[in-house]
Every structure is written in structure tokens, then in C-alpha cells.
Amino acid sequence: MTHSTTLNPSTDATADTGRARYASLLGLLGLVLLASMGLSLGLGSFPTAFGEILRAMAAPQDSDIAFIVWELRLPRLLLAVLVGAALAVAGAILQGMVRNPLASPDVIGITSGAALAAVTFLALAGTTLSIHWLPAAALAGALLAALLVFLLAWKGSVAPSRLVLVGIGLSAAMGALTTLLIVISDDAAAMTAYVWLTGSLYAAQWQDVLGMLPWLLVATPLCLAQARHMDAMALGDAVAQGLGVNLLRSRLVLMACSVALAGAAVAFAGGLSFVGLIAPHIASRLVGRGFARLVPAAALVGALIVLYADLLGRVAFLPKDLPAGIFVSGVGAPFFVYLLHRTRYRSG
Amino acid sequence: MTSMPATPPRLTGEALRAGYESRPVLDGVDLAVAEGKLTVLLGPNGSGKSTLLKTLARTLTPSSGRVCLDGQDIHRHKTREVAQQLGILPQGPDAPEGLTVRQLVGMGRFPHQRLWRQDAEQDARAIRQAMVYADVTDFAERSVDALSGGQRQRCWIAMVLAQETDLILLDEPTTFLDLKVQVDLLELLSRLAHEHGRTLLLVLHDLNLAAAYADELVMMRDGRIVANGPPEQVFTAHHLKRVFDLDAQVLEDPETGSPICVPYTRQGARARTRPTSPTVDRRAVS
């Protein structure tokens, strides 16, 4: 360290221990995730021994369970990881932008837009078009809804609070339309729509994984490049502007990242967006302040949540395969109530 | 000193009209912020002093007229480039939960940093100097929201100082603080102008503190500047009546020579004519 003479050595040490602690925490979360992925790979309706899994991984052509491992479990758990990470990062962005811990990708209409598009697709085109087009339809719905919310909230600038209010209003309207469509469509389409709305990774395929991956690879570095802007915006608009943050540009970039991540995740896995509310919270408890630190930790936590929610859904109620969304909400809802309670306690 | 040619002002407002939504506040204001001096904006609530400060700080865009930094419209500069010249402390800033003093002060380096280019040594030096100057080094690792009001305000000032700008605008930096804390803060700010050549513009509420610390006093009412000049010339009974509708006597501080206002009171004068010693005696007995 070349500048150690100019710095108070004790503060340098504090910064270093902070960094070391963060790095080890991130490493630990990564290891837990890897171990959990291993666990998820080994568990399922068809009993598989650990050795067999390894053999199937290493030499699929010699294994009887290669299909189960490679085509059923692996893409599904990878999609769970990607979707969880994407929703968590999307939530971290929104919570930071709105400066409100209760924000999530839901509040700017992403989920309800995707849901409306998906249900419309199932009701109108479900019989004529392949189900493989469902993610594309849902993604288009999510992006359109976010754009609409943005345009309606626009008043020469984007005030995050207005964005949220417009988003909640529009979500309610789209929710009503979604319900209407489910009620009037036939039973099979309604059932598919309902499972999709709950959020499920059932029958995930490699093409879903490959469809999801680019969104994360593009949006995550893009939002990390705005990390210092985000930290400045946490001090309030006037201070951030005084520090030289171009509020409009930063917000547009960050919102685009959030919409892309959440939209893609919802498109491939349905209504799991509660992850976007709770994962950033858990992560910020672990790593403290700073958006650049929060994003990787939130991504890992989000991945773990969806991975375990899906694992539970797959194996806890055999032979039923329950949607992961049930478990995400099962844990998420009590946590949400706890957050509300805690916020009220603090401000009161 | 007075015979020396004054440095041309870097920050000026010309024929400014500005306000919120449809409510206009500023009604054609011209102001050149004097270089290397401490200028105070003074006026009753709703007079437009905060609006003027925000407009000069580019937080608000004027509906007509323009704000110039170094002769060029401030909105034509890149906001980051402005931030290297001009620091702002808005009214009642709010630090997020858990942010440490050092982290907050470090945010002041934002306009000097790029994603791919950060001068760690320069940043560390600026942060350290700002913390020493604002006297916040002792609680550098504590979180800002756990400090007292005066300490917290010193941290925010340290953040603006770490920005290393020649121009510093502060909106009511002393409001809600104890008198002693207000005096300490104003001492600190006037040293910045007088010993370090920084240009300061602040909104204050306290008339006597404004008169004591301002080099230039700008008195506003109804979105217009009523009087503008050194306190000895501007801080008069006539102006206090016109700007604040306040009946007051203006005296001279025997120590510093700066003007002091003493409002005429009727209730207070009556109370003073009564003997006060029995009150003390009664309390001593009971």
C-alpha cells in the first residue's frame, strides 16, 4: 500500500477488514449456493445416489439417469438460480431508486404486465401457438407495462414516488383484466394461467436457461456501473444533483436494468417477484451500505431463495410438483408483514 | 482592502423568475454572488430566499432569466463539471440509515471520480482535510443518523468541503440547532471565506447572526431583492420594517461594530418594570 503514510493506519485497517469480511461473506454465500445446487441435483421424485449423479455429470453417455440429470434437473435448477438472481437485483435497484424498502418489481407494473400478457396469450393463442412463445409474450407485456407506467408518471422528470403510485394504480387495473380473462377462458387455459401466475419452474428447459442468461449478463454490469450514482441518490435528489449526478440519465439506465431483469425473470418463471422484495433486504442486512456490495450479495440470496422454493415444491409433497411461488410467498408474506411492522415502529 | 479591484463574480443570476408547479416565487431577481465572501440571503418565510438559492444551485430551473457560472448558462454545463466548481447543501438533508461519517464525507468526491479513473490518494487527502476542518474525525466511523444535530450538520458540511469547490451554497445550515452550535458553524463557514478564499452563499433565519457574519446581506421580500450590500449599510430599522414588518431598534455591537437588532416589545417592557427580586426570593424559600 503506497499511500499508507498519508492515511491514518487505523482507518485503513478498518476499511481492509470491511473488505475482507465482505469478500469472505460473498465466498461463503457462493459456496452455499453451489452446495445447494448439488443437493437440488440429487433430490427428486426418482431416487438417485450421489455417485450416480457424478457419473451422469461426467459421462452422460454411460449413465441411465443422464436424461433426469441433464435434461430435467440441471436446466430447472439453473433457471431457478438465474431467475432468483435477476429478481433480487431488479428489487435492489428499485428499492434504492425509490429510497423505500417496500418497493419491488411489482410496484412499477412489471409483474402484472407480464401476467396480463401471458394470460391473454394463453386465452387467445394457447391452442394455435406453441407454449414456447409464452415467455416472449410475457416479456413484451412486462416491458410495455413498465413503459406505460413511465410515460404516465412522466412530468418533465421522473419522481420515483409518482412512479410507484402510477405503477400501483396500473397494476390494479391490469390485475382486474387478468382475472377477467381467466374467468372467461376455458378450464385448461385457466389452470395453466393460474400455475404460471403463482410462479413455477416446472418443465424448465435449456432454451429457457439460455433465454434468461443474456439479460443478467447485460443488465447486471450496467447497473453496477451506476453503483456510485445510486449511493449518491440515496442522499436525496438535491444532494445527488449537487454532487453532479445526472438524475434523469441514471434513473433511466437503472430502471431499464430493473425492468429487463424482472421482466425476463417473470417471463420465464411467472409471478415469483416477491423474491425482489425480500432478497435485497436479507442481503443488505448481511453486507451493509453500498450498492456495489449489495448487488452481488442480493443476487446470491435471491438465487438461494428460488432454488430452495423450487426444491421444496419438487420433493416435499411428492408425487405432486408444487409451484415454487407458493413457497416464495409462504416465506415472503410473513417477512413483508415483519418489515411493515418494523418500519412503523421506527418512524413512530 | 476596499480599494482593491474586486474579483468578477463567477455565479450570477439574471432576471430570474422561478417557482414550483404553477406558483411563481421569484419575480425578476438579479444577483451576482461576491467572490471570496460570505453572502447571506435573508427574508421572511415565503420571500423566495430558498427558491433563489435552489435556482442558483441549478436544483430548480428558472422559468425565465438565466443562471451563469463563469459567464455561461449553468444548464449548458455538464452537471458533473458544475459539481467540481459548486457545492450544495440543501435544507435538512437526510442520511440513509447506517451510513458512516467517513462514507458520507467520501461521497463529496463523486464529481472527481470516474468508474475507470479514481485518484485514491487525492481523494483520501481531500476527505481527511474536510473531516479535520469540520472537526468530525473523532466520530468518523460512527453512523451519521446516531449523531446530534450539530455533529450531523458538520458531517454534511465536511461532505461539501471534500467536494473541493470554490463556490458553496447552503440552505439554512443552522436551522433547529442550539445557538452555540449555530455560532460555531458560522465561525467555520466564515473562516472558509476569509481564510480559504471560498465563496459562500447561505440562507439564514436569525437576523442578528446574519448581520454578524455576513460580508454581504441580501434582503428579500415577495420574490424580489429589497436591499443588497454590507450589513452596516443594509441592516437598518427601515429595511427591517420593510422586509420583515418588524419594529426594531438597530444598535451597534461595541466589540465588532456589526449591527444588532432589538425588537420593540410592549409585553417585555412592562414585565421589566416590575421588581424581579421577590420572584427569586420566593423560589429560594419554596
Q: Which residue has the higher pLDDT, A114 or B52?
A: B52
The answer, yes or no, to whether residue A195 has pLDDT greater than 50, is yes
Q: How many CB atoms lie within 10 A of CB A133?
A: 12
Q: Which residue has the higher pLDDT, A233 or A162?
A: A233
A vs B: CB pairs below 8 A: 83
- Which residue has cell 425482489? A276
Assign B140 to helix, strand or coil: coil
Q: Which helix (H) or strand (E) holds A171?
A: helix A160-184
Residue B280: per-residue pLDDT: 46
Give CA–CA dist A179/A190, Å, rounded: 10
The answer, yes or no, to whether residue A345 has pLDDT greater than 60, is no
Give CA–CA dist A7/A15, Å, rounded: 11
User: Nearest by CB to B140, which of A11, A235, A243?
Assistant: A11
Residue among A348, A285, A342, A331 nearest A102 (CA): A342
For chain A, domains (ranges, CATH) are 39-347 (1.10.3470.10)
Give CA–CA dist B63/B45, Å, rounded: 21
Average pLDDT over residues A237-251: 92
Give CA–CA dist A282/A294, Å, rounded: 10
Residue A278: per-residue pLDDT: 86
- Who's near A344: CB < 8 A, 6+ residues apart? none
Chain B residues whose CB is inside 8 A of the A243 CB are: 83, 107-108, 110-111, 163
The answer, yes or no, to whether residue A61 has pLDDT greater than 50, is yes
Q: What is the pTM of this model?
A: 0.85
Is there a contact between A234 and B96 if contact means CB atoms under 8 Å apart? yes
Conformation bin of residue B21: beta by default, left when phi > 0, alpha when psi is -120 to 50:
left
Cα end-to-end distance, chain B, whole Å: 60
Chain A residues whose CB is inside 8 A of the B124 CB are: 3, 6-7
Residue B282: per-residue pLDDT: 45
Is there a contact between B115 and A6 if contact means CB atoms under 8 Å apart? no
Give CA–CA dist A247/A249, Å, rounded: 6
For residue B62, whether the previous peptide bond is cis, meaning omega lies within 30 degrees of 0, is no
Residue B273: per-residue pLDDT: 57
Q: Which helix (H) or strand (E) holds B182?
A: helix B179-196
Phi and psi at B164, nearest 5°, equal 50, 55
User: Nearest by CB to A246, which of B79, B113, B160?
Assistant: B79
- Which residue has cell 464525507? B105
- Over residues B113-149, the pLDDT tens digits come to 887 767 788 899 999 999 999 999 999 999 999 999 9
Q: Could you list the beta-strand ranges (E) of chain B.
A: 11-20, 23-32, 38-42, 64-69, 72-73, 86-89, 167-171, 199-203, 216-221, 224-229, 248-252, 259-263
Banded model confidence at residue A6, pLDDT cuts 50, 70, 90: very low
The answer, yes or no, to whether residue A336 has pLDDT greater than 70, is no
Which class in CATH covers the domain with range B11-285? alpha beta
> Strands across the sheet with B167-171, in order?
B86-89, B167-171, B199-203, B38-42, B216-221, B224-229
Angle at B56 between CA B246 and CA B131, to 5 degrees: 95
DSSP A40-94: HHH-SSS---HHHHHHHHH-GGG-TTHIIIIIIIHHHHHHHHHHHHHHHHHHHHH
Q: Which of A147-151, A214-218, B50-54 has the lowest mean pLDDT?
A: A147-151
**Domain definitions of chain B by residue range:** 11-285
- Strand-pairing partners, residue B252, are B259
What are the angstrom distances between the C-alpha of A212 and each of A141, A142, A220, A257?
16, 14, 13, 14
Conformation bin of residue A200: beta by default, left when phi > 0, alpha when psi is -120 to 50:
beta
Whether B191 contacts chain A with CB within 8 A? no
Is there a contact between A244 and B84 if contact means CB atoms under 8 Å apart? yes
Whether B163 contacts chain A with CB within 8 A? yes
Is there a contact between A239 and B93 if contact means CB atoms under 8 Å apart? yes
Whether B57 contacts chain A with CB within 8 A? yes
Average pLDDT over residues A36-47: 80
The answer, yes or no, to whether residue A71 has pLDDT greater than 80, is no
Interface-testing mutation among B59, B77, B94, B107, with chain A (most A C-beta atoms within 10 A): B107
Interface-testing mutation among A14, A243, A248, with chain B (most B C-beta atoms within 10 A): A243
Burial letters for B41-53: b for 16+ Cβ neighbours within 10 Å, e otherwise?
A: bbbbeebbbbbbb
Average pLDDT over residues A88-117: 85
Tell me chain B's radius of gyration from C-alpha atoms: 21
Q: Which residue has the higher pLDDT, A287 or B12?
A: B12
- Who's near B133: CB < 8 A, 6+ residues apart? B158, B161, B188
Residue among B76, B74, B103 nearest B86 (CA): B74
Segments in chain B below pLDDT 70 = 1-6, 117, 267-286
State percent of chain A over pLDDT 90: 25
Angstroms from B274 CA to nearest CA on chain A: 45
Is there a contact between A3 and B110 if contact means CB atoms under 8 Å apart? no
Give CA–CA dist B50/B170, Å, rounded: 9
Average pLDDT over residues A189-205: 78
The answer, yes or no, to whether residue A64 has pLDDT greater than 80, is no
Yes or no: say if B209 and B174 are a contact pair by the CB < 8 Å rule: yes
The answer, yes or no, to whether residue A8 has pLDDT greater than 50, is no
Residue A253: per-residue pLDDT: 92
Yes or no: say if B38 and B168 are a contact pair by the CB < 8 Å rule: no
C-alpha cell belonging to residue B281: 426570593
The answer, yes or no, to whether residue A19 has pLDDT greater than 70, is yes
Give CA–CA dist A123/A202, Å, rounded: 20
- Over residues B84-121, the pLDDT tens digits come to 999 999 998 988 888 999 999 999 999 998 877 677 88
Burial letters for A89-120: b for 16+ Cβ neighbours within 10 Å, e otherwise?
A: bbbbbbbbbbbebebbbbbbbbbbbbbbbbbb
Burial letters for A55-66: b for 16+ Cβ neighbours within 10 Å, e otherwise?
A: bbeeeeeebebb
